[in-house]
Structure 1
Amino acid sequence: MMKKILLVLDSGDSALLARDYALQLAKRHQCALTALALIDGAPLLEGEAMPPGGFAYRMARDASMEQRWLDNARGLLDGVRDQAGELDVALASVLAEDGRPEDELVRHAPLHDLLVVSTDSHLGESERPHDSRWLENYLLNPARPMLLFSADTVLPEHPRCVVLAYDGSPCAARALQQFVFLGLAHDLPRKVIANHTDPQEAERLACEGAAYLAGHGLPSEPVALTARGSNSQILIAAADSHGAALLVMGAFGHNSWKERLFGSTTRTLMKHCHVPLLMFH
């Protein structure tokens, strides 16, 4: 049963969507919520050619940038604190400005059951280019499952089900286990999607995943696919066509999906999935 959620705050549109979703999730599940505001100060430490007498200018410029980032982070924390109060959600807030973003996630994630984050992250202010490489670094060895919101995520008004991608790999099996443990969207019907060039193998995999969920009181419909083409587009299309409220997946193994973690499939889903994406490596 989920008890604590870690929310990474940011100023992008999908980050605001993630914030609202996490608050409602905490209220629905009666969870404690930790809001983490990350600042990536690495640009301030990078070497830069300066003209004679330019050092003082750079020092003043960097101090101004850092203060602006701090003010923005504090504003995000104040905003979520007000919302949590209105929803009667227990909230702890953390401002992390000294370490690398992925290191801060490694430090805080083990104290929580779920991490909620947007890939449209700016780590300071909205004018900075968004960068999700720090998320990729964290996901190489995550302590907890991650609920991701991409720049293309739109919450459906009338969701019909949860779609769970299953390829028989250990990562996919762990993703199903985390879905059961967390209790996310258990009020909706479930469809286990398996894709393989062999129809019988696709059916076997889909039934295997559905059987695991049924054993935990979550009957699910196995859906066998023999689609060809981009794996990411197959999954996005499956989630869209079934009216999914949530897409669940692990890191792809070497069988039906033929992708390793952070192959093209995972990166594309992180950037363009239309629904919240529950991932676990």
Structure 2
Amino acid sequence: MFQPALTMNTVLACVDAHGHPSAVCDGATWVAHRLHAPLNFLQVVDESEAHTGETHLSDLTGYDASPTRTQALDAMPGSHIIGGQSHSQQLLEGVRARALHLGHSMVELSLRQGKLTDALLDLSAETRMVVMGLHSHHLDSPWRQGSHHLEQALQAVQQPMLVVTRSHFTPPSAFALAYHGGAESLQLVDAVADCELLQGLPCHLVHVGARNPDIQAEMSQAAQRLADAGFSTHIVIESGDVAQVLGRHLTIQQLPLLVMSAFTHNGWRQKLLGTTTSTLLRRIPTSVLVLR
């Protein structure tokens, strides 16, 4: 088991051969750049789900499979007991090389055996933010297979999590905030106001539901809080299906990031992160940042 010497500010990126590793690498590197934080790539091998297929790394720009690149992983204590070791090594070295190619030098690697949630909890004291993709065998068709890994991770960790939902990651120049209303949404607004990752990015404050004086007044208050924190804010109120409205707005406005809350288990979060995750978030065309 490899224990990197990292700090509480570490960005922990969970990589998997079937979980958009290059996109996760790009998203995690963007986060680490924005937060001026070290980056730790975590690969967890679950023997009950181990595969022996070839790992394709051709899109991991900068990857070098020479012996000198894999030497550090070969020497990792306990690595010999992990099934599929060579695939894990190639994957970790590939994402590290890609992160270095993107200009981020503070990179560590962790290779573990067991359950993802156990590893996340074990590393939680040194983790500032978690980044992960989807364990899907169909690129650009997310949320179909293995979404339980993500759902378990969302339930287990207390840190903010960036979920990369596609086979590519676009650094956002603006973002949408899913605003359902009430005290929990105001908590989310405060979390956004304090979020270094989002500083300087314009915000589209989106509410899906009926337009009435109460929600308009509440969203004006939320927009003012964001303005006081330096965010330019555009208010959107539209009725309809939550995922459909959000997805359409994200697509039309070309917003590559949706921000939502993990504070509450109300209808919005139940629909987006509950038992229907596989169905509904497949319709969200962007990465999702879950704040706590």
Larger radius of gyration between Structure 1 and Structure 2? 1
What secondary structure does 1:113 align onto?
A: strand
2:245 corresponds, among 226, 234, 244, to: 234
The reply to whether residue 279 of structure 1 matches residue 285 of structure 2 is: no
Instruction: Provide the aligned C-alpha RMSD in A.
Output: 3.1
Higher deviation after alignment, 209-218 or 109-118? 209-218
What secondary structure does 1:217 align onto?
A: coil
- Return the alpha-carbon distance in structure 1 between the equivalents of residues 125 and 32 of structure 2: 18
Instruction: Tell whether the 8 Å contact from 2:193 to 2:225 is kept in structure 1 after alignment.
Output: no
For 1:89, the aligned partner's letter is S
What secondary structure does 1:247 align onto?
A: strand
- Return the alpha-carbon distance in structure 2 between the equivalents of residues 95 and 263 of structure 1: 29
Deviation of 1:153 after TM superposition, in Å, equals 6.2
**Distance verdict in 2 for CA 1:39–1:181, change over 3 Å:** farther
What secondary structure does 2:119 align onto?
A: helix
Deviation of 1:34 after TM superposition, in Å, equals 0.8
TM-score scaled by structure 2? 0.72
Instruction: Give 1:100's aligned residue.
Output: 115
The reply to whether residue 35 of structure 1 matches residue 41 of structure 2 is: yes
Instruction: Give 2:21's aligned residue.
Output: 15
Instruction: Give 1:213's aligned residue.
Output: 226
Deviation of 1:7 after TM superposition, in Å, equals 0.5
- Return the alpha-carbon distance in structure 1 between the equivalents of residues 269 and 85 of structure 2: 43
The reply to whether residue 143 of structure 1 matches residue 149 of structure 2 is: no
For 1:24, the aligned partner's letter is W
The reply to whether residue 182 of structure 1 matches residue 195 of structure 2 is: yes
Gaps of 5+ in 2: 1-7, 51-81, 138-143
1:89 corresponds, among 105, 109, 113, to: 105
Structure 1 ranges of 4+ moved more than 6 A? none
> What per-residue deviation string (whole Å, max 9, x for no partner) do you get for residues 74-112 of structure 1?
111111222344424211211111x21112112223422
Instruction: Tell whether the 8 Å contact from 1:149 to 1:275 is kept in structure 2 after alignment.
Output: yes
Q: Within 5 A, what are the aligned runs for 1:34-183?
A: 34-43=40-49, 67=83, 69-86=84-101, 87-97=103-113, 99-120=114-135, 130-151=145-166, 155=170, 161-183=174-196
Deviation of 1:253 after TM superposition, in Å, equals 4.7
What secondary structure does 2:286 align onto?
A: coil
What secondary structure does 2:194 align onto?
A: helix
**Distance verdict in 2 for CA 1:23–1:80, change over 3 Å:** same
Deviation of 1:42 after TM superposition, in Å, equals 2.6
